[in-house]
C-alpha cells in the first residue's frame, strides 16, 4: 500500500539546505501498522509530512526518492492528483486535537467537510454511526456541540472521525495520544488497533515510545538524525535490539522503572540538523562508539529474524 524508497527531504532555513530525512526506505503492506519511533527532531514527522506532500518550497522539498501510495508516485503527482489522494485515500490524526479542531464550528460541520462523497440526506446518519463506533455516547445529540464541550479524549475521537470519514486506505497518526492522560491514551490506542483490523487500514503510527507502539503496530522503524537506524518486526526489535539507540530508548521507558527509582535518560542531545556528524548520527552519544563510528555511516545489516540495523558495534544480548 505504501512504499517509501530512498527518501531524502530537505528544509530551507537561513539560506541553508538542511536534510531532515536521509535515505529512508519503508514498506507498509495493506492492512499493516508500522511505528516510526524516535526522539523529537529524529525525522519522524518529516517522513509523514513528505508522504502527504506537505513539505514544499519555500519551506523545504523532497530532494530524491519515491513515495508510492497504491500505484501513484506521490513525488511526481500533480497538485490536482495530490488533492484527490488527500481527499480520498489518506487520513491524518493530529497530535493535539485542541488546536486541530476549529472552536467556532460544530462537530458535525467539521466532519461533513471530509465526506463529500456521502449523500446529503445520509450524512447525519453516517456521522452518528461513525461517532458511536468510536465510543461517543449519545452521538446524535452531540452533533451540534462545539469542541470545547468535549473532553480531551473525546476531542481526539472526533479528530479520528474526521480522518475516517473519507474512508481512507492509509491512516497517519502523529503521536495521537501525547496530550492525553495515561488511561485515555490506552483507550485511544486500542481504538486505533480495532479500527485498523476492522477497516483493513494501513497505519503509520508516529511516537517517541517504542513500548506504547506495541499496543498498535506489528513493525517498527527507529529513526535518529534523519536516518532509519533499526527496523523490523516490533516484537523482535523491542525484545532483542541491535542498535545502541534502540536499546537506550527502551531503557528510558518508565515501564521498567520501579517506585522511587530514577528514569534512565539518554546522555547528551540529539544532533543539530544544520551540523550533522559525518558518521553515525548517534556516535556522539553512544557509549560504545569508536573512531570508525564518528567517521563513516555504517551500511544496513539484515538479521536472520527479519530485523535490520545500521551500526558498527551492535548491541549483544
Cβ-contact 298, 243 below 8 angstroms: no
For residue 128, what pLDDT is reported?
95
What CA–CA distance (Å, rounded) separates 73 from 86?
13
Cβ-contact 102, 183 below 8 angstroms: no
Please write the tens of the pLDDT for every residue from 111-150. 999 988 889 999 999 999 999 999 899 999 999 999 999 9
What 8-state DSSP symbol labels residue 121?
G
Superfamily of domain 2-89+168-309: P-loop containing nucleotide triphosphate hydrolases (3.40.50.300)
Q: How large is the angle between the packed helices 123-133 and 152-165, nearest 10 degrees?
A: 130
Residue numbers of the chain with a pLDDT score lower than 70: 254-260, 317
For residue 257, what pLDDT is reported?
57
For residue 259, what pLDDT is reported?
67
What CA–CA distance (Å, rounded) separates 269 from 191?
34
Q: What is the 3-state secondary structure (H, E, C) of 226-272?
A: CEEEEEEEHHHHHHCCCCHHHHHHHHCCHHHCCCCCCCCCCCCCCCC
Cβ-contact 19, 9 below 8 angstroms: yes
For residue 66, what pLDDT is reported?
96
In the chain, CATH 3.40.50.300 sits at 2-89+168-309
For residue 99, what pLDDT is reported?
87
For residue 244, what pLDDT is reported?
96
What CA–CA distance (Å, rounded) separates 214 from 211?
5
Q: Which three cell numbers stand for residue 244?
A: 545502541
For residue 317, what pLDDT is reported?
64
Cβ-contact 91, 168 below 8 angstroms: yes
Dmax of the chain from CA atoms? 68
Amino acid at each position: 500500500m505504501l512504499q517509501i524508497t530512498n527518501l531524502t527531504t530537505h528544509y530551507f532555513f537561513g539560506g541553508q539546505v538542511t536534510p531532515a530525512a536521509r535515505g529512508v526506505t519503508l514498506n507498509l503492506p495493506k492492512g499493516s501498522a508500522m511505528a516510526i519511533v524516535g526522539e523529537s527532531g529524529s525525522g519522524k514527522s518529516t517522513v509523514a509530512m513528505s508522504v502527504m506532500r506537505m513539505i514544499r518550497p519555500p519551506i523545504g522539498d523532497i530532494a530524491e526518492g519515491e513515495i508510492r501510495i497504491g500505484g501513484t508516485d506521490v513525488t511526481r503527482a500533480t497538485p490536482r492528483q495530490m488533492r484527490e489522494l488527500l481527499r480520498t485515500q489518506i487520513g491524518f490524526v493530529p497530535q493535539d486535537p485542541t488546536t486541530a479542531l476549529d472552536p467556532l464550528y460544530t462537530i458535525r460541520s467539521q466532519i461533513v467537510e471530509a465526506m463529500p462523497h456521502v449523500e446529503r440526506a445520509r450524512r447525519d446518519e453516517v456521522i452518528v454511526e461513525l461517532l458511536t463506533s468510536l465510543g461517543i455516547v449519545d452521538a446524535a445529540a452531540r452533533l451540534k456541540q462545539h469542541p470545547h464541550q468535549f473532553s480531551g479524549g473525546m476531542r481526539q475521537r472526533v479528530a479520528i472521525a474526521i480522518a475516517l470519514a473519507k474512508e481512507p486506505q492509509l491512516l497517519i497518526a502523529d503521536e495521537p495520544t501525547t496530550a492525553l492522560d495515561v488511561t485515555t491514551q490506552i483507550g485511544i490506542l486500542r481504538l486505533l488497533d480495532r479500527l485498523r483490523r476492522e477497516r483493513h487500514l494501513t497505519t503509520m503510527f508516529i511516537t517517541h515510545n517504542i513500548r506504547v507502539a506495541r499496543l498498535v503496530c506489528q513493525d517498527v522503524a527507529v529513526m535518529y538524525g534523519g536516518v532509519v537506524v533499526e527496523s523490523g518486526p516490533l516484537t523482535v526489535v523491542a525484545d532483542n535490539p541491535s542498535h545502541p539507540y534502540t536499546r537506550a530508548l527502551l531503557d528510558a521507558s518508565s515501564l521498567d522503572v520501579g517506585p522511587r527509582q530514577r528514569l534512565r535518560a539518554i546522555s547528551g542531545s540529539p544532533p543539530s540538523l544544520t551540523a550533522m556528524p559525518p558518521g553515525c548520527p548517534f556516535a556522539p552519544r553512544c557509549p560504545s562508539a569508536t573512531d570508525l563510528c564518528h567517521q563513516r555511516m555504517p551500511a544496513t545489516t539484515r538479521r536472520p529474524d527479519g530485523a535490520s540495523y545500521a551500526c558498527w558495534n551492535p548491541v549483544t544480548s
